[in-house]
Every structure is written in C-alpha cells, then in structure tokens.
Structure 1
Amino acid sequence: MLDARQDHPGARTHRAAPGRRGTARRRTGRRRAAATTALLAAGAASLYLAVAHGLPGPHDRSGRDAAGATPAGETAAPDPAGTARAPTRSSVPESGPGTFTTATAGARATGAGRPYRVETEDGSGVRPDDAAERIAAILGHEQGWSRGDGTAFRQVADDSATLVIRIATPHTSDGICATGGLDTRGELNCRVGATVVVNLRRWQLGSPEFDGPPEEYRALIVNHEVGHWLGYGHRGCPGPGAPAPVMMQQIKGLHGCVSNAWPYGRDGTFHDGPHEP
C-alpha cells in the first residue's frame, strides 16, 4: 500500500507528538488492517453476487470468467439450448395414452390413388402433419411402390382410407401388433390388416443395422409395411454386396447385403430376393 502522502500529494501531514509516536503507529496499523479486511470482504461479496447473477467475474486460464461470460474481444459460442438436438433412446416416450390425431394438411377428399390416412399418437412428440408430409414424399418417391405397378396414393383425413399409417409409442405399438398375433417386443413395426404401425423408437432413432440416417430408415419402414399391405411377403438377401430388398427384415441383419430403403432401383429394377417366412 502506498504512503498516504503519495496517495494524496496535497494533503497535510499530521505528525505525532514524540512521546506518542509508538501509539500512533499501532493505531495506524490497526486502521490499515481493518481497511484491508473490509476491502477483502467487499471483494468476496462482489464476486459472490457476480457469480450468482451471471455477471462477469475474474478470468480463469481459459480466458472465460468464472460465471461463464465472454470477455470483451471474444465471440460467444452458440447457445446449445437454442440448437436442435438429435433424439436419444431415453428421450423417446415408452408409452402414451393410446389416442391418435389425424393429419389434415395435404389431405384430399377426392382424386386418384389409394386413400390412406396418417395418425400419430398423442404425446409422442411427432406432429401429424409433419409425419404426413414425410410419408407422402416416401409413397410418391420415384423408387417407391408406384414405380413398378402404377400404384398411386392419396392422403385423406376421414374414414374413406383403406390404409391407415400410425406412429405410436413402443408400448402402444406392441398392443396394436398383438391383436394380429405379433410379438414386437417394443422394438419392431408391424402391419395388422389395413393398419401399418410404425414404432416411435424406430421412427426417431432408425436402426443400428441400417447404414443410413433415421430419415432414410423411415422410408424403409413405410415401404416394408406398405409392401405387406400390397401383398408382398418377406425376402432374403440375394447375394453379398447386393442391395437388400425392401421386403427383407433388415433390422434383423443384412447377411451380406447393403442397406436399402426403396423397392426399386434408379433404373426401375425391383430389388428382389429369395422368399422367407
């Protein structure tokens, strides 16, 4: 600490009387100690308030302050909370109320094509209209079922549908599939009569056996189950390195084939394989 005369050059200097100089020095020392203690306490309190309220505080070695603020001259990184995060297994609901909401956007009451309806389970986190848009793109894809036999599809929002595609939580999926005698174990999709049941977990996460993103695996789900509705049975891998038929149960392993989500190739060739149960 600087001497008082250096801090305040114009201030008057008071000298202690010769007989009282020691006492004055002791009093001055006590005052300085008290002042230092007060400053330290004030600094600690300010730091506590800064951290508690997210205000800038002392910088650590990384150049960021203890409260996480960005020092002047640096650019703040994007807020992770403001970016979309990929779903994880724990974030996909296991069960729901068993009630569904029908997609209405894109539905047409009249027109050509086989009428189908899209429904998503309430509380699943999947909006019906978003799901319907993706399913319409799959069914209308140039390598989809309409490529080979001229099958066209038309989305509706009423009971005129001859095909219903439902996205449901694993527990609800199991319940619906069980009505057809199928054990899906919370993991698989199924087709029961005119209803295609898409397991929410598969819709959101894809399959570890499928070499592609979840959105492409969604195409495989829809094409496989709609293929059953059209009358196609299961197929096996035709040979190592060949595209896996869309009617192959690819979630159970590829057996040398390459992941594939579409019934037809770009050249119009139907991806077929040996019949399987």
Structure 2
Amino acid sequence: MPTGAAGPGVPIPRQRRAQSAPGAGPRQDYLDAFRDGAAEEGGKSGDGDGTESGEDGATGATARSRGASRGTLPRPVPVQFAPPTGPTAAGTGTSPVAGTGPRAGSGGSGGRGGDGGDGGDGSVPPAADATPAGKSAKSAKGTKGRTFTGIAAAAVTTVLAVVVAGQVADDRSEAGAAQTAGGQDEGARTALGGGVQASPSPSHSAVALTYEQKMNLKYPLSPALKGSARFDVVPGFAKAPGRGRKFTYRVDVEQGLGLDGRLFADAVQKTLNDDRSWAHGGARTFERVSSGESDFVITLASPGTTAVWCEKSGLDTTEDNVSCDSAATPRVMINAYRWAQGAKTYGDRIYPYRQMLINHEVGHRLGHNHVTCEKDGELAPVMQQQTKFLDHDGIHCLPNSWPYPKS
C-alpha cells in the first residue's frame, strides 16, 4: 500500500454513529457505502492528486462507486475500527466519518490529495473538525449529492423488499392452495375409493315392476311354514271378459305370508281367461268377486294350512308339499311355497310354473282328473302332476302350462 509523507499509512477508524430510531430513514450501512463511493469519486476529480493512490490503495470503495454509477446496488461496507496511534492534535487530523475526508493512503505527495489529512499521526479529531475549510463548498455539494444517493438507495431497497415479499406471499398462497386442493382430492378419494363414498350419488326413485317382471321373480318362503289359518279377501272386482259360461270366484290370501295378494289375484284372472286356458274357444269365462256368493274360492295358503284344508277332502299334500282342490269345500288350495319358489321340474321358469299351477287345480274343480303324456318328447298335459315329475315309464314329457297350448 502507498504511504504518505509522514509515515506508513494506517487505517483510519471510523466514528460510530448514533443509532437512528426505527423507521427514521434508510439503513446506516447503505448510507456509509454510498458515502464511501462518493468520497472516492470526489478524491479522483478534485485536484488530480491521489488518483493513483485511490486506485491502488482504496480499490474496494472505488469499485463499489463505479458499480453504483452503472446502476448496480453497492454492497454495504462494514464499519471497521482501529486503535489510534500517537498523540491526538486537535484540528490536524481527518474526519473519521466515511466519505467526508481522504482515506488512508490517498495523500501520496505532501497531503494535497487529503488536505493534510495524512499527517501520519493517526489522530482521531472531533466530529466538528471533520471538514477542512478549503473543501467546504465542494463538501456541501457532495453532501447534498450523497443525501439524494442515500434516499435513492433506500427507495430501491424498499421496492426490492416489497417485490420479494410479494413473491414469497404468492408462493405461499399457491402452495396453500395446492395443499388444500390435494386435501380435497384426497378427501374426495377417501370418500370415493377408500371405503367413498365418494361424494354420494343421487338416489333414484324405485321403478315399479311390470306384471310380467313380478311373475318372473321368486319370493322367499319356508317349505315348512304353517300360517295362522286366517284369511283376507283380496278386494276388488274383475269382470268376466267372455260370453261363455260364467264362473265366479273369490281370492283369499292367508295372513302373514308376506306375498303380494293383488299379484296373485291378477294372475288368476289373466290365466283363466287366456284362450289357451279353460276359457278356450269362448266356452267359459271367469269373473272375480270380493263379496257375495261365488262358485269357488281360490286360496293362497302356507304349506301347513294347505295340508289341513286338503285333508278335509281326503287328500295328503304333505309328502311332496303340493297343492290340491279340496272338493269337499269351496276352496281350491294353492300351496304358497310352490307359488313363491316353484318346482325342480321347471327350474327357473317360475312364470309358466305359476300358470300351470292355477290351471291344474282349477281343472280339478271343473272335473278334470290326472293324465300323462303318451309319447316321448310331447308336451305334458296340464293335468299331469308336473310338480312331481315330467318323466314316466321311459317317456320324457316337456313342461306345459296350458290345457290348449296350441291355441
């Protein structure tokens, strides 16, 4: 490092400024940095002295000053203190305040570069003597420039702080939103796939089944059920549709079966008045009533109650759990278990089995007895005991629900 006329250069300590009140202005380290740069530029352009010493001895401040002139924010220079060396002479030293006097090593030839501030005594004068008299106008002008520079630096710093804070807030908001969306998605997945219900789907109103659909369904009922033996009359009236001999009937359903009595009554009326049934060719027609006299009563009853009523006419239905026409009584008994579950001979074809069941038992009431098919592969007559068997004597009969199936 170059030395002054009086001796080797010694770093001049800077006087510590009093702490400003919070919010009173820009940070002191920024002001110090800009003052260092301004002093450096002033030292180079003042008298021409100490130009080389400024380049060689205080390159850090000069570089920062040049960086500031190109629009780059200078890095703040930390304040350094060194113990004074030698006696202190009032009014003969340089200012310890950065930017108000020559720096160490800047007075290369007799003190002109620093106005005698490099006397070599290392004294720290009071702040009142910081500005030499010969530089008063120039220092005032420099002070004003430094003030504007400090204000500009503070403004730039404030803007940068606001921008950075905004970016951080935006990043946090985006992260929070993503986390919330992820939680909702997860909540959605838990509700949906984790055992969710996803978002519940809208409930659909129950669709009413058609007559055919109901007749194709099997219904639960125990083969050993013995009911109350009390009956309910299915209300309503179904007019006989034909012109033949009219038979009237009533439909009773045993209490507690849990079966659809209306469906059973509709099935009886539709089946008996089908042209393939006993109404074939207009010979007969059937009419359902719910009060008054009737020719017979078609009764849907549990297996136990059916057995009781069939026994009244000397018939045993318990062996194969079948139905009967209790001829000694007004009742044609339809076993509710067979109505609900069908028979092995028909498998899952429950609809045609129910039609066969009605036609067979009403056929007995009309005077028809049991018969069987006579050729292999023929349709079984409706009066064959199809609940019990389809095959007999090496002949295989096909299931059939109607007295006149080819009609």
TM bucket, shorter chain: 0.5 to 0.7
Paired letter, 2:261: P
Matched residue, 1:64: 193
Paired letter, 2:376: P
Cα distance, 1:108–1:158 mapped onto 2, change above 3 Å:
farther
Residue 113 in structure 1 maps to residue 249 in structure 2: no
Percent pairwise identity:
29
2:228 is matched with which residue: 86, 97, 105?
97
Matched residue, 1:201: 337
Structure 1, residues 140-199: CA drift from partner, whole Å, max 9, x if none? Answer: 112011105701111111241111100001111111111111111171000012321000
Matched residue, 1:162: 295
How many Å separate the matches in 2 of 1:164 and 1:78?
A: 40
2:321 is matched with which residue: 173, 187, 192?
187
Task: Say which SS state the counterpart of residue 384 (structure 2) adopts.
Answer: coil
* Superposed counterparts of 1:1-277, under 5 Å: 58=190, 64-66=193-195, 69-71=196-198, 86-90=218-222, 94-107=225-238, 113-148=246-281, 150-185=283-318, 187-193=321-327, 194-211=330-347, 213-255=349-391, 256-266=396-406, 268=407
- Give the deviation of 1:215 after TM superposition: 2.2
8 Å Cα contact 1:138/1:219 also seen in 2: yes
Cα distance, 1:86–1:250 mapped onto 2, change above 3 Å:
closer
> For structure 2, which runs of at least 5 residues remain unmatched after alignment?
1-167, 170-186
Paired letter, 1:195: R
8 Å Cα contact 1:223/1:246 also seen in 2: yes
Paired letter, 2:219: P
How many Å separate the matches in 1 of 2:235 and 2:220?
A: 28
> For structure 1, which runs of at least 5 residues remain unmatched after alignment?
1-8, 11-54, 269-277
8 Å Cα contact 2:390/2:398 also seen in 1: yes
TM-score, length of structure 2 as denominator length: 0.45
Task: Say which SS state the counterpart of residue 120 (structure 1) adopts.
Answer: strand
Cα distance, 1:212–1:223 mapped onto 2, change above 3 Å:
farther
Aligned alpha-carbon RMSD (Å): 3.4
- Give the deviation of 1:75 after TM superposition: 7.0
Cα distance, 1:95–1:56 mapped onto 2, change above 3 Å:
farther
How many Å separate the matches in 1 of 2:348 and 2:356?
A: 11
Tell which deviates more after alignment, 148-157 or 169-178.
148-157
Cα distance, 1:147–1:252 mapped onto 2, change above 3 Å:
same
Cα distance, 1:149–1:232 mapped onto 2, change above 3 Å:
farther
How many Å separate the matches in 2 of 1:202 and 1:86?
A: 10
Structure 1, residues 190-247: CA drift from partner, whole Å, max 9, x if none? Answer: 0012321000011111111125522221111110011111111100122111111000
Task: Say which SS state the counterpart of residue 250 (structure 1) adopts.
Answer: coil
How many Å separate the matches in 2 of 1:195 and 1:149?
A: 25
8 Å Cα contact 1:118/1:132 also seen in 2: yes
Structure 1, residues 41-71: CA drift from partner, whole Å, max 9, x if none? Answer: xxxxxxxxxxxxxx98858xxx8313xx234
Cα distance, 1:71–1:100 mapped onto 2, change above 3 Å:
same
Where has structure 1 moved over 4 Å in runs of 4 or more? 55-59, 74-79, 83-86
How many Å separate the matches in 2 of 1:262 and 1:108?
A: 22
Question: How many positions carry a matched residue from both structures?
Answer: 206
8 Å Cα contact 1:106/1:133 also seen in 2: no
Matched residue, 2:162: none
Matched residue, 1:24: none
8 Å Cα contact 2:237/2:290 also seen in 1: no
Task: Say which SS state the counterpart of residue 253 (structure 2) adopts.
Answer: strand
8 Å Cα contact 2:324/2:333 also seen in 1: yes
How many Å separate the matches in 2 of 1:158 and 1:105?
A: 9
8 Å Cα contact 2:190/2:198 also seen in 1: no
Task: Say which SS state the counterpart of residue 198 (structure 1) adopts.
Answer: strand
Cα distance, 1:78–1:104 mapped onto 2, change above 3 Å:
closer
Paired letter, 1:137: K
Task: Say which SS state the counterpart of residue 196 (structure 1) adopts.
Answer: strand
Cα distance, 1:258–1:170 mapped onto 2, change above 3 Å:
same
Tell which deviates more after alignment, 221-230 or 95-104.
95-104
- Give the deviation of 1:107 after TM superposition: 4.1
Cα distance, 1:77–1:117 mapped onto 2, change above 3 Å:
closer
